[in-house]
Amino acid sequence: MPEGQIEWTCPVYPRFEGKWVLVTGAGTGFGATIAERVAAEGGNVVVHYNSSLEGASRTAAAVRSYGRKAVVMRANLRNWEEIRTLAEESFAETSGIDALINNVGDIATEQMSWRDIDESIVSRVLDVDIKGTMLMIHEFGVRMLAREKGCIVNIGSTVVVKGSPRAPQYAAGKYGMIGLTKSYAAAFAPVVRVNAFAPGFMKTPGTLARDDWNNGRREKLIAMTPMGRIPAPEELAAPALFLATEEAAHMTGAYMLCDGGYSMIGA
């Protein structure tokens, strides 16, 4: 294994051999892990970023370390014109996007309570989590339909099961994502599949740096999780990508949870 590559805990299969996958927000966090997992499974990656060019460049280097192709592209997903350009250029510079992973989301990490809410943070979160997700599905879906193949995976959250007293607008955004997933799944069927994947809490750098995480929340969440642990992102990348494989060929409009039982009714 080349230095710097992730040591995967899940078996690696060539599920994306020769395919192109675009991962949004692939410069950091879960997006970067998903992008590297695509490469480990034989795929080429369009690495999207908005502000972290350095991170996107690291992700692209990781993808290439597997012998795959990587293209780095920037777009602000709050802007329709930039999303349209991202779609046009990503299809033009590859053999066509086979799968879109809508990973970008704004969870308002600086907000510790619903009391801290203001109009600007509501607009910021919903502009990404609903508007941005919708326009990404729309622009990439139109082009996938023209090619008569493709699939889209929206990265959601277990917040839709329990809500978020910390950031209600974040919960609203992820509920909205379910509506978008089902609506476009019906609109694009049977040619393009649209599904959503909901990971639970992960040990990402952003999570580990939060004040509440280091002041009792970690222990509380572990106690509420039947599997008894908080996983690293690399453990959840493989199930997230399952929805973009031929193994999930009869799945569309689905919302798949992967949270160690945290959201289990009665748990």
Would you state the structure tokens that stand for residue 52, as one six-digit string? 């972290």
Domains of the chain (ranges, CATH numbers): 20-258 (3.40.50.720)
**109 pLDDT above the threshold of 80:** no
Q: Where does the pLDDT of residue 160 fall: very low under 50, low under 70, confident under 90, or very high at 90 and above?
A: confident
Residue bearing tokens 């710097």? 4
pLDDT band at residue 69 under the 50/70/90 scheme: very high
Query: Is 170 designated active site?
Result: yes
Cβ atoms of 177 and 126 within 8 Å: the answer is: no
Alpha-carbon distance 257 to 252, whole Å?
Answer: 14
**pLDDT over threshold 80, residue 111:** no
Q: Which residue has the tokens 């086979």?
A: 98
Alpha-carbon gap, residue 91 to 20, rounded angstroms? 9
| Listed range (65-69, 71-75, 261-265) with the worst mean pLDDT | 261-265
pLDDT at 192 over 80: yes
Q: What is the pLDDT of residue 124?
A: 79
Q: What is the pLDDT of residues 23-36, one digit of tens each?
A: 999 999 999 999 99
pLDDT of residue 224 exceeding 60, the answer is yes
pLDDT value of position 60: 98
Residues 205-224, mean pLDDT to the nearest whole number:
73
Rounded to whole angstroms, the Cα distance separating 219 from 190 reads 44
Label residue 89 by pLDDT band (50, 70, 90).
very high
Sheet architecture: strand order including 44-49 = 70-74, 44-49, 20-23, 99-102, 151-155, 193-199, 255-258
DSSP strands (E only) in 113-229: 151-155, 193-199
- pTM of the prediction? 0.90
Which pLDDT score, from 0 to 100, does residue 105 have?
Answer: 75
Q: Any idea which residue has 């692209």 for tokens? A: 60
CA angle 239, 242, 246 (to 5 degrees): 165
Q: What is the mean pLDDT of the chain?
A: 89
| Residue in 13, 49, 66, 170 annotated catalytic | 170
Region of residue 261 (phi > 0: left; psi between -120 and 50: alpha; otherwise: beta): left
pLDDT surpassing 60 at residue 130: yes
For residues 52 and 187, give the distance between their C-alpha atoms in angstroms, rounded to a whole number. 34
- DSSP label of 131: I
Vertex 43 angle, CA 135 and 24, to 5°: 25
By the 8 A CB rule, do 186 and 247 touch? no
Band (pLDDT 50/70/90 cuts) for residue 91 is very high
One-letter amino acid of 158: T
**Residue bearing the bigger pLDDT, 21 or 129:** 21
The confidence score (pLDDT) of residue 248 equals: 97
pLDDT computed for residue 133 by the predictor: 96
pLDDT of residue 151: 98
Range in 83-87, 189-193, 244-248, 254-258 the model is least confident about: 254-258
Q: Which pLDDT score is estimated for 265?
A: 62
Q: Which of 136, 140, 101 is nearest to 23 (CA)?
A: 101
Question: pLDDT tens digit string along 47-61?
Answer: 999 998 999 999 999
